[in-house]
Amino acid sequence: MSNWVEACDADEVEEEDVIRFDHAGRTFAIYRSPDDEYFATDGLCTHEHVHLADGLVMDGIIECPKHNGRFNYKSGAAKGAPVCVNLKTYPVKLDAGKVFIEIG
Amino acid sequence: MTRAASKRDYSLVGRDAEAAVANGLAAAEWYHTEIPRKEMKALMQRSDGPALRDTAIWLGAIILSAAGGVWFWGTWWCVPFFFVYGVLYGSSTDSRWHECGHGTAFKTRGMNEAVYQLASFMIMRNPVTWRWSHTRHHTDTIIVGRDPEIAVMRPPDLARVVLNFFGLLDAWHAMIDMVRNAAGNIGAEEKTFIPEQERPRAIRIARIWLTIYVATIAVAASLGAILPLMLIGLPRLYGAWHMVMCGLLQHGGLADNVTDHRLNSRTVLMNPISRFVYWNMNYHIEHHMFPMVPYHALPKLHEMIKHDLPAPSPSIRAGYREMIPAFLRQLRNEDYFLKRELPPTAKPYRADLHDEIAVAAA
């Protein structure tokens, strides 16, 4: 059964940036691409317990602020050392200027 | 100088490694100064320009100094050229390895990787092993039993410190590690921080490097001259002094087993030549707090957060004037360290750590 959760206002996320969203004891990262598309992943780096929302978004990649681990935020794919495990991604939809993510 | 047995176990697979995990010091959450997201984003922005400029100067100086050294070989005129070449080869490669390893020096990843590989070879650090050891250094900075890059352990081995100004022990160990890795052997401590899938690369690179060193020695032997080794290998010894001079200041004499970089790292104001060689790593608290900020943005970061940091050491000399007495005192009491005072504008050190620290530093 789908479980869509309102994460934030669409304009809370700047272009090519990320914000943190906490819900029910879990933490997520919400991204906005330069093409004005929205994406969502788990909020913590798979390498260590670090919030990705403090990292750098650049060219479709989120870089972890602690060790520069890189992920494709659209697919969740880990892009090399020191990250070896992919990020979990979540479906996203926009409705009435709000960003919703499906957290299952 | 007699060195007392240490209460600390610096092995990555020993007693203090287990204690650090049990005490929550491993992979802990660290203090950082609050910076608005917009300003942090601006500081983190990547650019090729500054590093391209600096790398062009760096490579040009390496080539010119090497050419001068070769041209004047056999006369005293070669000495200043090899002095410069040595510092560029045996010291500045430490900071190039470091910044490009973080992937922040250039925007273009291929440029970071190319300089990283070149600098790793010159500084004699296996690029796979040291990428992962440095990752651990940032996770567990100066946490005993966790950090593989603690330059001066307690009580300080001052003979080792002095020998490393000439690269003697570090280069010797690097050679042993290279031969061991080339033989296919990844050590027990290395296995604690290098993931299994990365180990074959570490072995492959060690074999390539070993081939280069054997070839250089063979050329030197066939020529009956040391000159090839003055260009490859030996500069890691005769040019290491600047790297060690700056590197010791990073954490020397400061606290261990804390989770606030203001307590265990030191920012030192330096002359522009040393800052070029060191690529601004003198802003070391700032770098550890925000490792995503490129070297060329660290002075700006320093200005933004200095209200929350201990005052920087005003010079290299001033840094040594506080660090050397601390080392000497640690010979008698290894729990002693320098506790740096925060300005009134700073957020205080974490109270739970602060109390213990005040006792130990007294």
**DSSP letters for B146-167:** T-TT-SS-SS--HHHHHHHTTT
Tens of pLDDT, residue by residue over B82-99, are 999 999 999 999 999 999
Q: How far is CA A1 from CA A94, A103, B312, B346, in A?
A: 19, 10, 57, 50
Percent of residues in chain B assigned helix, strand, coil, to nearest 5:
60, 0, 35
Q: If you average pLDDT over residues A14-29, what whole number do you get?
A: 96
Separation between Cα atoms, residue B317 and residue B285, nearest integer Å: 18
Tens of pLDDT, residue by residue over B142-165, are 999 999 999 999 999 999 999 999
Domain boundaries, chain B: 15-361
Q: Determine if the peptide bond prior to B155 is cis (ω within 30°).
A: yes
Question: Is the predicted pLDDT of residue B4 greater than 60, yes or no?
Answer: no
pLDDT bracket for residue B357 (50, 70, 90): low
pLDDT bracket for residue A84 (50, 70, 90): confident
Residue B267 CA from chain centroid, whole number: 14
A49–B contact, CB cutoff 8 A: yes
* Structural domains present in chain A: 4-102 (2.102.10.10)
CB contact under 8 A, B292 and A58: no
Check residue B282 and give its pLDDT.
98
pTM of structure: 0.90
Question: Is the predicted pLDDT of residue A62 greater than 60, yes or no?
Answer: yes
Question: Is the predicted pLDDT of residue A33 greater than 60, yes or no?
Answer: yes
pLDDT, chain A, mean: 94
In chain A, what residues touch B292 (CB-CB under 8 Å)?
Answer: 55-56, 63, 65, 68
Residues with Cβ < 8 Å from B170, sequence gap 6 or more? B124, B164, B240
Residue type, B173: H
Residue type, B286: E
Which helix H or strand E contains B250, and what residues bound it? helix B241-251
Check residue B359 and give its pLDDT.
46
User: CA A60, A61, A62, A66: dihedral to nearest 10 degrees?
Assistant: -160
Residue in chain A lying closest to B43 (CA): A56
The token pair that represents B18 in the structure block: 């287990």
Of A49, A54, A56, the CB nearest to B27: A49
Separation between Cα atoms, residue B94 and residue B123, nearest integer Å: 6
